[in-house]
Amino acid sequence: MKPVIMAGGSGSRLWPLSRALYPKQFLPLASDQTMLQDTLARIDGLCDAAPILICNEEHRFIVAEQLRAQSITASILLEPVGRNTAPAIALAAMDALAQGEDPLLLVLAADHVIQDTEGFQRAVRAAAPLAEQGKLVTFGIVATGPETGYGYIRRGMPLESLALQASNDGGHDSSAASLQSYVVDRFVEKPDLSTAETYVASGEYYWNSGMFLFRASCYLDALREFRPDIHVACSSAMAGTRQDMDFVRVDKAAFVACPDESIDYAVMEPLCSGEDTVVVMPLDAGWSDVGSWSSLWEVNAKDEQGNVNHGDVMTHDTSDCLIHASHKLVTTVGLQDMVIVETKDAVLVAAKDRVQDVKHLVNRLKLEGRSEYKLHREVYRPWGKYDSIDNGQRYQVKCITVKPGEKLSIQMHHHRAEHWVVVSGTAKVRCGDNEQLLTENQSVYIPVGVVHSLENPGKIPLELIEVQSGSYLAEDDIVRFEDLYGRA
């Protein structure tokens, strides 16, 4: 069984914590680990094969760093553009087959919460024999209420109950249980409230989790039958792959030409018509897609007043709120059913029953060309990070942190000069033809148009203050001549 982790997406409904260049799957929202790391930890002991990660090109270094933190080796496929789940899974299936295997693919999203790991693994193990028979298994979440934000799966006739037999060093899992699966009757769109209430009352409908288990070749055969255009585009994209450090780059032109389609529309729904090929395995394991601040409130531990507090928070006469303080003291008086989220550069205050509308704010920020929809004030790079402390019409101040052994690109700027002051650690600086070592409280000036680079040769993080001055200070005024991370 080979895990396929889909780590794309922007998570705009969890703004201002989640942003386009640092979305929710890379944030620690439900535990001390990020959601991606929680997803990988959840399959520990379930899948022996190295996972395949599918992510946007812009997120590649974040993914690689979070995998390294868990000592996990994976194949990281880069999507040059987003084309939805059907093409993404096709790339993973083709990558697995290219390695001389035809494994069962356990397709998971990187940004889901599952509170009962044992129950999740039990359902996956029960689904494995079905996938080995050529079935395409989807995991349907046992509905806890009439949710209008999810699609639904209507179950059909039951399949024969399968005794869950999990091998453990040649023996059997003592927790073996019998789980009932069903032929999928149909997939249905997100309903209105009255329809959702009818679905839940019938007991015949599950929430569509977007998690699947099937053999790689079976998925590709179905894709070739129902959406040959997607299959051809993905085949062309994989034919032009190239290795770039930790990443596999597909042919951009071929993948850009691929249609944008979900796996449900492309494969699962067409297979449902009169067939028993698509099977739903019920899953009752504390699942949530954490698609909004209200759903994050639901899955987190609460205090006696029903509040979910994070960071430096002080409340009085406040109940059933989510209050997230990243850097400042946040205080509340007399509030109920509210969401308050503070970051270095933005504050969100919203009624808990209106948090789905946060996406409208994000769209407005994007239309007005404001950076807050895309970036945090603190921006992560493969070599470390920088924090934009202050800025004005002709100046900008950053705090830069370079990890031990890392190096920024050899570069120059047409419109700005830079002054670096070392706060801690050791900096190896190239400025024109000169190279020097700087330590705490020492500084260097980089004139406009001079080729320069910055490196941390030490064993501890290098921290410095950078003061930029000039007529144009945006990040695209960087000409890279050489770069360890392939960005030149």
For the chain, the residue count is 488
Instruction: Report the pLDDT value the prediction gives residue 114, as an integer from 0 to 100.
Output: 96
User: What count of other Cβ atoms lies within 10 Å of the Cβ of residue 168?
Assistant: 9
Q: Pick the last residue of a domain from 334, 361, 388.
A: 361
**pLDDT single digits (tens) 260-305:** 999 999 999 999 876 789 999 999 999 999 989 999 999 999 999 9
d(CA 149, CA 192) in angstroms, rounded, equals 9
Assess if residue 82 is contained within a domain: yes
Kindly state whether residues 398 and 471 are assigned to the same domain. yes
Mean pLDDT value of segment 22-51: 94
Confidence of residue 407 (pLDDT cuts 50, 70, 90): very high
For 136, the domain range is: 2-291
Kindly state whether residues 179 and 211 are assigned to the same domain. yes
User: What count of other Cβ atoms lies within 10 Å of the Cβ of residue 40?
Assistant: 23
Assess if residue 51 is contained within a domain: yes
Q: What are phi and psi of 435, to 5 degrees?
A: -130, 135
**pLDDT single digits (tens) 37-85:** 999 999 999 988 999 999 999 999 999 999 999 999 999 999 999 999 9
Q: Under a CB-based contact definition with an 8 Å cutoff, are residues 248 and 99 in contact?
A: no
d(CA 240, CA 139) in angstroms, rounded, equals 33
> Which CATH number characterizes residue 40's domain?
3.90.550.10
Is 165 a residue whose pLDDT tops 60? no
Q: Pick the last residue of a domain from 291, 310, 340.
A: 291
Kindly state whether residues 257 and 318 are assigned to the same domain. no
| Opening angle at CA 125, ends 123 and 127, nearest 5 | 70
Assess if residue 373 is contained within a domain: no
Instruction: Report the pLDDT value the prediction gives residue 170, as an integer from 0 to 100.
Output: 40
Kindly state whether residues 145 and 203 are assigned to the same domain. yes
d(CA 178, CA 160) in angstroms, rounded, equals 10
**pLDDT single digits (tens) 90-123:** 999 999 999 888 999 999 999 999 999 999 999 9
Q: What are phi and psi of 371, to 5 degrees?
A: -75, -15
Instruction: Report the pLDDT value the prediction gives residue 177, as an integer from 0 to 100.
Output: 45
Kindly state whether residues 135 and 72 are assigned to the same domain. yes
**pLDDT single digits (tens) 344-353:** 999 999 999 9
Assess if residue 404 is contained within a domain: yes
Kindly state whether residues 238 and 191 are assigned to the same domain. yes
Kindly state whether residues 355 and 389 are assigned to the same domain. no
Kindly state whether residues 256 and 328 are assigned to the same domain. no
Confidence of residue 472 (pLDDT cuts 50, 70, 90): very high
Assess if residue 416 is contained within a domain: yes
How many structural domains compose the chain? 3
Assess if residue 163 is contained within a domain: yes
Is 167 a residue whose pLDDT tops 90? no
Is 175 a residue whose pLDDT tops 60? no
Kindly state whether residues 143 and 251 are assigned to the same domain. yes
Mean pLDDT value of segment 464-481: 95
Helix (H, G, I), strand (E, B) or coil at 260: coil
**pLDDT single digits (tens) 196-251:** 999 999 999 999 999 999 999 999 999 999 999 999 999 999 998 999 888 999 99
Instruction: Report the pLDDT value the prediction gives residue 149, as an integer from 0 to 100.
Output: 87
Kindly state whether residues 206 and 66 are assigned to the same domain. yes
Please report which helix (H) or strand (E) contains residue 360, including its range.
helix 358-367
Mean pLDDT value of segment 388-415: 96
Average pLDDT, the chain: 92
Kindly state whether residues 456 and 439 are assigned to the same domain. yes
Q: Which residue(s) pair with 469 in the sheet?
A: 395, 417
Assess if residue 202 is contained within a domain: yes
Kindly state whether residues 346 and 393 are assigned to the same domain. no
Assess if residue 370 is contained within a domain: no
Q: Under a CB-based contact definition with an 8 Å cutoff, are residues 366 and 372 in contact?
A: no
> Which CATH number characterizes residue 417's domain?
2.60.120.10
Q: Which two tokens stand for residue 374?
A: 């895309």
- Reported pTM: 0.88
Is 162 a residue whose pLDDT tops 50? no
Burial class of residue 184, CB neighbours in 10 A (0-12, 13-18, 19+): buried
**pLDDT single digits (tens) 1-14:** 999 999 988 888 99
Q: Pick the last residue of a domain from 261, 291, 321.
A: 291
Confidence of residue 178 (pLDDT cuts 50, 70, 90): low
